[in-house]
Structure formats: C-alpha cells, structure tokens
A and B are shown apart, each in its own frame.
Chain A
Amino acid sequence: MPKDTGIGASTRRREDVRFLKGKGQYTDDIPPAHDQAAAVFARSTVANGVIKSIDTSVAESMPGVLAVFTGADFADVGGNPAGWLINSRDGEPMKEPKRPVLAHGKVRHVGDAYAAVIAETEKQARDAVEAIEADIEELPAIMDVKAALTSDNFVHDEIGTNQCFDWGWIEDNRRATDDAIKGAAHVTTLELVNNRLVPNAMEPRCSMASYKESSDEYTLHTTSQNPHLTRLLISAFVMGIPENKLTVIAPDVGGGFGSKIYHYGEEALVLAAAKRVGRTVKWTSDRTEAFLTDAHGRDHVTKIELATDAEGNFLAFRTETYANVGAYLSNFATATPTFLHGTLMAGNYTVPNVYVNVKAVFTNTAPVDAYRGAGRPEATYSLERVIDKCARELGMDPIALRRKNFIKPDQYPFASAAGLEYDSGNYDALMDKMEEVADVAGFAARRKASESKGMLRGFGVNAYVEACGIAPSNLVGVLGSRVGLYDAATVRVNATGNLSVMVGAHSHGQGHETVFPQIVSDMLGIDAQSIDIVHGDTSKIPFGMGTYGSRSLAVCGSAVVRATEKIIAKAKKIAGHMLEAADTDIEFKDGQFSVVGTNKSVSFGEVALKAYIPHNFPIEDIEPGLEETAFYDPANFTFPSGAYCCEVEVDPDTGKVRVDRMTAVDDFGNVMNPMIVTGQVHGGLGQGIGQALLEAARYNEDGQLESASYMDYAMPRADDLPFYIVDHSQGTPCTHNPLGAKGCGEAGAIGSPPTVVNAVIDALQSGGKNVTHIDMPLTPHRVWSAMNNA
C-alpha cells in the first residue's frame, strides 16, 4: 500500500485538477436544457408589511412570460419546517409559525419573496417582475430583540408574541447556579453581542428543476450541503412529492458554511414551476439576493456571569441570551442557540454549576441559522471573554486561570455541568503545545519592538471545546430533533476490482473525493486511485444526512469503515471457498487473503472477480456480488478542543487592529489527511478573524440591510490576514468511532474570535486604557472610540 495515499498521508486532492482547469460543474454551469426557462423573484423592499393586493395581469401578458406565481398558489402546500422542537422553561412547545414558499398575507423581511415570474429568458422574467403591481402597506419594523418581547407589533400575528421560546438549560440547575453566584467570593459580569454575519459562500445559490410527466418524476439540481435532507424536507413537509419521485442532485458546490444546509423556498418554487409550465426552470441568486435571503449567522445578545472563589476556582457560569431567529424559523434555527450552544457552556472546565437561558425572538430580518460553528462560537466567545475579564479582575495570568480550572486528562469520560459527556481530551497538553509553537515566551520582546514603533501589542489566549459528529439519533431525539443524524455509505466493488463508494456526506470544499479513498485503500490494501467517491445525488447513494457540524469524517467516514468491514467479511468467505479453508482461518492483509499458517493466498482483485463470476461458487451460502451498505449512528458527539493564541498590533492613533500572529493548536483526534485538516483550520481562522475585526450584517431601524454588498460588508481579504501557525499533534482519539476522528471544519471559526478580542483588550490595557470590552467587529472606529472614552 503506497504510504502517501493511506490514512494519515497528506495526499494531494484529486478534485483540484478539474477546479484548476475550470472544469468544475457547479449548478449554474450545467449546460442549459433545450427547454430551459428562467425564474426571477419579486422581493419585498420593506421589512414588515401587509400585502393588500398583488396584480400580476400586466406581467403575465409580457413577452416570454410563461407563468407568474404568488403566495396564493402555495396556500395548500406545507411550510418549510424547523427541524428541532424546543420546549420553553414552562413546558410549552416553541411557537412555530408557517414559513411559506412565497410570502402570503404579509412580507416579513427585506428580500422576502412574494411572487415569481417564469419566462423564456432571465431578462424577460426580470422585466415582468418589474411590472408586478404589489400594494404592500408598510408597518413599523420589529428589529430589536429586547424591545420585540414587549411590543404588541408582531412578526407573526397568529402567534400573538415575538418570542419563539424561552429555554432553560438545565432548568433543574438554575437554583444551584443562582446560589453559587450569590455566595461567591468574586463574580465577573460581561454583556456582549455576538455579531450577526452573512455566510457568503462564494458560489451564490442556484436551483434548477425539471418534471417528467410520463413518469411523474421531478429532478432538482441545487446548491446543497445535504441533498437527501433537502429531498426529505420537500417530500415530507413542503410539497408532498413522494421521495421516490424526486431526485435531488447537488453537483460541485462552491462553499456552504451552513448556509446551504437548509431548504429554501426557491427550490420549491422551481419544482412547482417546472410542473406547471412543463419546462426546465432555473433560478440563480445574485449576490444581493444572497445577502438578503441566505440564512445569516450568530446574532446573540448575551449577559454572562462567572462566579469564582478567592483562588480563582470556577463555581458557576450563568448566561442570559437573546437569540435573534429572524422572520421565519430556518431548519436548524432552533437547535443552534440551544443544544449547540447551551450544552457547551461548561467549556473546558470542571465548573460545577451552569445555567443557560435563551430567549429566541422573531424580528423582521432574514432568518438566522447555523453558520460555521453554529452555537459553539457563541458559547466559546461568551465563556472565554468572561474568563479573560475575570483573570484581569483577579490579577491572575489568563493561561494560569484556565489551567487551574481545566478538566484533567484522567477525568475522562467527563460529565460536564452543561449535560454532555466528553469522551477524551487533554487541554493542558494543548496549552503546552500552544505556548511552544507560538513562542509565547518571546512575546515580551515583540511587545517592546511594537512599542518602539509606537504601536500597542496585545496577547490573547483562548481554549475551546465543541461538540461535533452530529449526532446520536437517540440523544438528539430526546432533545427535540425531528430527524435522525446517522449517515450512510455503500461500498461497491466492481468485478474488475475497482470501487465506487457512495457516501451520504457532501463535499463542497472538504476534499471527500480524496480522503474517503485514503481510508478505504488503507483498509483494503489497494490503490486509492482505483476508488471513486460518489456523492451529492439521491438517485445514486443510499441515504445520508449530509455535511455540516464537522460530521463528515466522524459519522459518514465511520459508515464507510463499517461498510468496508462488511466487504472484508464477505470477501473472506469467498476467499475461504477459493482456498478451501474456513473463513475463520482466512487472514486479510495488504490486499491479500491467505490461509493462516500456509502460503496459500488470493488477491483482493481475484476475490472481486469471483464474486461477479460465481462459477464453482457456494451459491447456497454466499450471494454473488460484492457490495455492502452501512448506516452509522454515533454513540456520542465527538469533542474537538483547542488552545489558541493571537498577537495583535493596535495603532493608537487610528484604532486599527492588525493580527500579527495567530496560533491554533487543536485536538481533532486521529487525522486522516493533515494537509486538508490544516486547510480547514485556516479557513475557519479567516472567518473567525473576519467576525472579530471586520464583518457585520447591519440592519437599520427600518429593517433595511445596510451591508448588502461587498462594498458595505467587509469580507476578509488576503491583506487582512496573516500566515497562521497550526498544530494538531496533540490529538486524543475519539473513543467511540472506528476512526478515532473528531472533526475539524468549524474549530478555527470557534476558537479565534475571542482570542482576537482578548488580544486587543490586552493591547489597550498595556497602553494604560481601562477598556474591558468592545463588541465585535473591532473596527478602527470602535477601538478608537473605546480608547478615547476610557
């Protein structure tokens, strides 16, 4: 087995070749069907309004127009559901107003689609959209999460409140947490905002549907991270199209970061339109639509308290969070601020008391849902900012304070005070490594050098633990999930010995086409090049819940392992027959099946051929063919963790922050392809630094999104970011999946924002400014103002 293609090798990515040659096939690149028509949406320009009337008659008569849809056309179909049912503290189920395909009765955010035109060309459809006469009576916009709770102006009149739920975690711990805080020697309090972000995958969404009347079948090509989940939502909840009549294909997808997990109304619209007009119908989002309608991320307003004894031992964390869910519940919107956030609020610490209260609030803004990290960045930011503030108040070193409270390696499995059982970790080892590779000892000299240039230099540190590998179906079912969160894989050994591996995970940058073959080739002792991955097409793969929550390797990769194990087990039987030995006497190594203690052997290829040409084959005992499927449901979450640090320079004259050094030391368990894992961390760091310093989705009080283009939304560019120092040598394998893998996709975005903010605060303090907090993004204006008001 060539060492450079197996588990642990930095195999170069095979998918790169087509992308580098411009031969990727993203949805918008698919050659147009001969009958292709275009869909364009009419979108609300007001944040909150009553639809008095929509007159489509002029639009309908315009050249090239094939059909015009309004909300009334979908009055009889279902709403796009929330995937997770949350109960409030009083036991009441959350409020779940319908999210229709097209707005009906009311528009609820700028960009909310209330009509759509299907025409021969996109230009004709656009012109016809202009001709739709919509009489929309504008109402005051509901924008502030706290004010919304006392307002009698409702986003959804039928529920009579703007509160979706008021969740307590863990409600039974509330009193003990309150008592611990009351009696504590020291309490640090911090109020903070976790800024709203726009995911901004570089490929805008695109959906294209066709309908075949002869067989009553639909095909939907769409930019999705999880085609089966999209099919399930469309079939079971929204359109009622039977799953066996709907194929969903997500070809090459240009990034997702969460925003392409969800089913969106545009997908349902093009399906309905394809049937109505009997044509292929395609919609491609432009960037402005993406800003207005892709699910946004974060947007929490939080108060956190940390109680300690006089020596700095943590006694309790208590948080109160207002989570903006936007105008409608997106599919994971209710899970993100609760079970992906509240359950992580014990962090890396042995703290005995944790209580989290989250009020989810409807506002007249785009829906908010999981974005890279999803809840865990919010948890980590709150914890690691308040810990830093506490260290300063107690006069303790921020690293020492964290170490003092870390869970120790001999305490695993560890039942956290927020209700999870961490299986493995070694936070001190991560911190040691971080101090080493970041050259923390050299910071003082670097600070001096900065100061001699008139710059303030700060050092920030951070620890995190997250829950990935989402998720044990049993557990999430108890917690309110409406789906199971296993994954599936089929390994098909073809007669000539090459393999097709069908996986439920979907790659939109993660390199699955390279990594899954590394695993299979390692297990079977065959050339990775003879193994192909098939993904993203519900007609070709068994099932799958897709890619998000850093789950592809830990969950789907485990399914690949299980399916490959089944292949080996069956192949051993076939080999046993070929070698006239019991299968229990067959040993499989390096691609050869041999009879233990003899020199008799057959190769994997010979067994494969035998399976498909079953002459002289024990047909009674063994079926011909060599293809196995496994569904893998994890026993627990996985718990990646890390120690990060960062050094910034702040220009005291302008408030401009420059990240000079950024170090990420992560425990991802066993690593399959270090090159790809490092790349995942880099990407997360870029997004995390972006959140800390640059990015903000800003609505004005009328509900207009002021940052709705790359002119106003500050995307991190190459010269905003440094080279990163990344290490994952301190992995403690996950104890419950066969790969020992934990997941790496979100780590960088979780660990970096508090690190950067901690460093900026340290820089300002070093300059004698008593600034204890600045809300992200730390723009020059905010930093300068904080310094000058301190």
Chain B
Amino acid sequence: MSLDLIIEAKDVAKWYGAFQVLKDINLTVRKGERIVVCGPSGSGKSTLIRCFNRLEAHQQGEITVNGITLHDKMRNVAEVRKYVGMVFQHFNLFPHMTVLMNCMVGPMWIKGVSAAEAKKTALRFLERVRIPEQANKYPAQLSGGQQQRVAIARSLCMEPAVMLFDEPTSALDPEMVSEVLDTMTSLARDGMTMVCVTHEMGFARAVADRVIFMNAGQIVEEGTPQAFFTNPQNERTKLFISQILKH
C-alpha cells in the first residue's frame, strides 16, 4: 500500500438485515484529495462515509484508514477516529459547553493535552473558521452557519488526516450556506484531505478532484467534476444532474 493512501475501500458490502445498503464499493482517497459524493436520497452516501470512521460496521470487504484496517476484532476504534474528523448535517455540537470547550475537549480528553495548550489550539482554529469572538458563547446562541463552522473547528482541533462531511449545508438557511462553503473551500485550498457528501454543485466544481455518484448502494459513476457535469455516462447520473441543474 502506498504511503499517501488515506482511505482505501475494497469490495465493501453492508446490509441492514436483509437490505443491502452498500454493494461492491471500491474507492481510494489519496492524501490531499478532495472527493465529493452525491446521489439520490437513500443511496447509501451517509452509510459509506460513516463506515470510514466505523460509526457503522461493514460486513464484507476491507476498509483501511490511515494504515489501520477496520474490522470487527479491532481493539481500539478510538485510534482510527483520532485521524478522521466528521462534520454532521445537524452540527451536533455539545450544547452544555461553550464553543471554546467544544473545541478543547477533544485534544484534552483524547490526547491528554493540557487545558492551556488545548485553549491555544482551539482559538487558533476558531480564528481559522473566522469566529474567535464567539468563543465564550453557547452553541444555542449561534446561527446555524456559525454552529457548523464551530463543528468544523472542533474537528480540526484533533488535527485529523482526513475530514468527512455529511451534507454539512443541507440543514442551513440559504444565506448561511456560503459561509460554510467558504470555510470548506479554504480548507481544501490548504490541502486538507476531504470526503464531502453534498449536493452543492458549485462547490464540487470549484474544489473537487473527483466526483462520485452513488445509486442504490453502488458507485455508478466516478470522474473529474468537468467530465461528471458535462458528459455523464450513466443514465441515472444524467437524470440526477438534470434535476439538480433544473432550478
């Protein structure tokens, strides 16, 4: 395995009971690559990226993340989660902690960093997502866009090798979408390895190295944004793109 492979999925399959959510998934993510995953609702996008930090367990095939193979007998799931940051659709900030604490607890409780050190890191990344002035507020006092940027900062504080985004802008009011996308774009410019489930096609065009289209648990098309949007091969992809671009 080459050293700069961050995520490697081979023939991955997963079932919920009798229902197959993921089928023959083959995917590699190299260091610094930005990947956008799209596809109709229920096609298994969330399930796929949740397998990458083992919030979900796959049943067949092999997933290797940052050199660690994920399987049922692994003793330390937390080890892989250190290297994988995740941003959720609904932010999932800890509402009983200030923004600053939200960003500090990861390094403090996982890496055993001192509070002073963790605070410095937290402020640095809050600066990075451009909301250092909100540090002492509680999440509920922030707008959706600000909360999502805090969630990004919280993940960054762990200095992950790859960031997973699960529809980070789809719970936001339209005018807040761009501030989050701007943050993500600037992350991408700085070379962060990213896997984003999103339907923001402008974002995909601007930053993605590859776009992956999923349908019914399978990757049905994969290519550069250019090829994906202008010359889709698969019938399902064509339909999807035409629907997305209709409005």
Question: Does B associate with A?
Answer: no
Q: Which A positions have Cβ atoms within 8 angstroms of B?
A: none
